[in-house]
A and B are shown apart, each in its own frame.
Chain A
Amino acid sequence: MNKSLIGAIIIIVFLAIGFFSFMDSKIEYVNFADARDIHKKVEVKGQWVKDKESNFDSGTNTFTFWMKDDYNNEMKVILDGGKPNNFEVADAIVVKGKVKDGTFMASEVLTKCPSKYEATGEEIKNSGY
């Protein structure tokens, strides 16, 4: 009896810690408009705005670019790190980070390029003899 009581307490404590830590670590998917009001880490999905400035600053090791979310809100993004792989060809990009003074400070950028891995009919047309 005593043993199972101790066990139960440990499990409850673990679950409680886990729950709060989980709530603390979860990152919501939002758009840029909402991201301004949330003061914790969020994720925003969208597209790279190709005709605005984008550059890598080797001094601060940051990559700066503009991004448009799925609701057409545009924001400047500063990524802590170099230009991600497949950045140019990505159909969509997901940035993780926080908004600070109107700029999205990203710690991570995921690039989504399913089309590159899925062959297209166009491609096979051009691969004949």
Chain B
Amino acid sequence: MVGKILIYLSFAFSILGVVSFFLVHTGKEKYLKPARVFYLLTATFVITTSALLMYMILTHQFQYSYVWQQSNRELGLALLISTFYAGQEGSFMLWTLMTAIIGIFLLRYVSKGDRLEPEVMSVYSLVLGFLTFILILKSPFNYVWDTYAGDVAPGFIPADGRGLNPLLQNFWMSIHPPTLFVGFSAMAVPFCFAIGTLIKNKYDEWISYSLPWLLFAGGVLVLGIMLGGYWAYGVLGWGGYWAWDPVENSSLIPWIIIVAAIHTMIAQKRTGGYKKTNLILCILSYLLVLYSTFLTRSGVLGDSSVHSFVDPGKEVYISLVVFMLTFLAIGIGAVIYRAKELKTFDSGSKNILTRESALFVGAVTLCASALVVFAGTSWPIIASGSIEQDFYNKMNLPIAILISFINGMSLLLKWKTNDEKTFFKSLLFPLIITCVITFALVIVGVQDFIFALFAFAAIFAFFVNAEIAITIFKKNKSGIGAYVAHIGLSLFFLGIIASSRYSQDVNLTLELNKPVEAFGYRLTYLGATEFEDPNNQTDSKYHFNIRVQQDGKELLLKPVMYFSSFSEGVMKNPDIANFFARDLYLSPMGLVEPETFTKDQIHEIPKGKSKDIGALNVEFIDFNFGGILPGGEEVRSGNFTVGAKLKVSDNKFSEVIEPKIEYKNGVPSYFVAKMSDKPNLNFYFAKMNVSNTGNGEAPTASIAIVNTDETPMHIPEESLVINASIKPFINILWAGTAILVIGFFISIYRRRKDL
């Protein structure tokens, strides 16, 4: 009850905030103090609500549906905390919480100096208004007896919760979603600045003080995205770090736009051009965040994603649409409102060979990439069908090449002036180095033209940036952020080329203790061992131990498979040997239990019928249950013996024999029967097939005849089927992303100093 009241209070105060900040904008200065208090109260209530939800989770208050649905008593502290955002309601709560907290810093920031405080905070409060409204509709504070009215009586407290989806039970669950939501929440800030500045009709100052926020949003978002990528790669065993899944795409699209905006804003800061571009990109980036939320939360993509989408209900669907359309209307409305002023701005530099033109072309190229991803991701809601992953790869490959070239070249160009001579001269050195290295790569094996070109472009960008970074570092250490980020991106691109284009994979069947060679490694399956998972004691989890040997060195990889009672299916986690120049990635596919008999040894014969098998005629007369009832207690308990009476005839003799099968706890053992004149033929009763459907079909017996002259009795060991793959230089990819993120944060530090 308290939780619901707190949400209502947050909503009420956020709306008061919207109104009073707007009144301040219209000149009623006396409302400024109350407006600030309203915002701080909104944030306080949101934080209190979140704290309450966390408290309920930590104290296992299963009378709340959300707590019951997402957690249980078994989970360790870290995972228990992460159940806060494991479901729809909680992840909206997390988004709201992060938005509220960021807003506190934003309020402090805009209240210093002339930074559009009333306009920005009015729009920002509206964001919180919508988020808290969704929480009213989709509350994590419902009691189980309300959610499941009719099933349980009021006051009912479940003894334990359902627990957390096993796919989410790992370390990354603790950091990936919170990071992503900080990024998502921070994306609201550039939007608010753009709208604020349009309302104020001032188009220059906002660039400087909103840039750190764009850098923050971009840096955190890309960190969140790549943490998710590492999760998919290292734990979930999706085979790669990126699958162009709608959920992944929907955080990538706004990120690309914000990166484009960062570049054109720097161009505006230096030259005064691109005013319209910046406004539009900042508005667009948050609209795309909202559109992404709509795509992934409303259930519209239900059929086309590996992420599971639960239909949140009509009210949430409608409020997400209204949220999106309102902000679209605000964005378009503000631009139209100022259309006359905006028209007077010229379209930037006239000269193509300047830094600002290059940045603009780069931004357009980035937008093209966003458009590709946007079109592909949106397609399922326009038509019934989907888009092949290959579409994204095919289209983004040339774009990435172009971006690398533009990146390298733009830094050699000068602001405002066109100095062709120095430009071409400065191109010379990086181009020579790039040619040499690319040539070496081609010799090593990078021989597709398009990938060689991609490598060329990335190496070019790498060297231009590295050269500048070194020069700048000597003078101004914090000025290297952009170059560090670009170096990270170039390495990331090189990592993509190596790890995806030149990855190899093979399926292997590893028989117990029999070494198999693959990619120069000797792999031996050593059997499975059960291990304890403190977060999940319900299921028995197994390591499938594989010894990896190469050049006298050895290590043990332990991919995991287990039957999850939560998902009612087999869960599989890969294991990875991380070497300097490659990853060996072992993904378990299944365990093949030994078959006692081979397929051609087994013959299925209906009761009362006979079958010619080689020179013999075998008639299956009847089962012999030895006095127990078929279908009786003994049979159901899995402890019984049954025989199959067979009449075996060749052209001379006829003989009745009875092989038996004995079950102990459902595990069969076989008792051989032989004909008196054929000691080499072993008859086994392999399986009885009694149809329970009552459709009148006769029961059958599967009889195995093993000729010991032809086949010595060989019982194979169990084998593990795995997919083994090699990901060359994937370390470069991860290092590249880390460097990229570091670059963002160096830049934030530097821009903060600029203010």
Give the B-binding residues of A (Cβ under 8 A).
3, 7, 11, 14, 17-18, 21-22, 24-29, 41, 43, 45, 56, 58-59, 61, 81-83, 85-89, 94, 96, 110, 112-114, 116-119, 121-125, 127-129
Contacts and interface: CB of A to CB of B under 8 A. Distances in A.
Contact of B509 (A58, A89, A124): A58
A56 B590 CA distance: 9
B379 A26 contact: yes
Residue from A24, A124, A129 having most chain B Cβ neighbours under 10 A: A124
Mostly, the A contact residues are mixed
Contact of A21 (B384, B394, B567): B394
Contact of B308 (A24, A81, A113, A129): A113
Interface in B132-160: 144, 148, 150-152, 156-160
Given A86-B567, A117-B308, A121-B150, A58 B590 contact: yes
Given A114-B309, A116-B568, A128-B156, 7 more contacts: A25-B394, A58-B721, A81-B589, A89-B567, A96-B386, A114-B308, A121-B148
B390 interface: yes
A128 B306 contact: no
6 contacts: A21-B391, A82-B590, A85-B571, A86-B568, A116-B567, A125-B152
A104 B497 CA distance: 32
A87 to B, nearest CB: 7
A94 B305 CA distance: 10
A112 B302 CA distance: 8
A58 B65 CA distance: 43
Contact of A14 (B162, B304, B368, B375): B368
Interface string B540-581: 000000000000000000000000001111111000000000
Given A58-B507, A88-B568, A110 B306 contact: yes
A88 B567 CA distance: 10
Contacts of B390: 25
Nearest 3 CB-CB pairs, A to B?
A121-B151, A25-B391, A82-B589
A68 B387 CA distance: 23
Interface in B205-240: none
B590 A83 contact: yes
Interface string B495-530: 000000000000101000000000000000000000
B173 to A, nearest CB: 15
A125 B151 contact: yes
A38 to B, nearest CB: 11
Contacts of A81: 589
Contacts of A124: 68, 144, 148, 151-152, 158
A114 B301 CA distance: 13
B731 interface: no
A75 to B, nearest CB: 19
B385 interface: yes
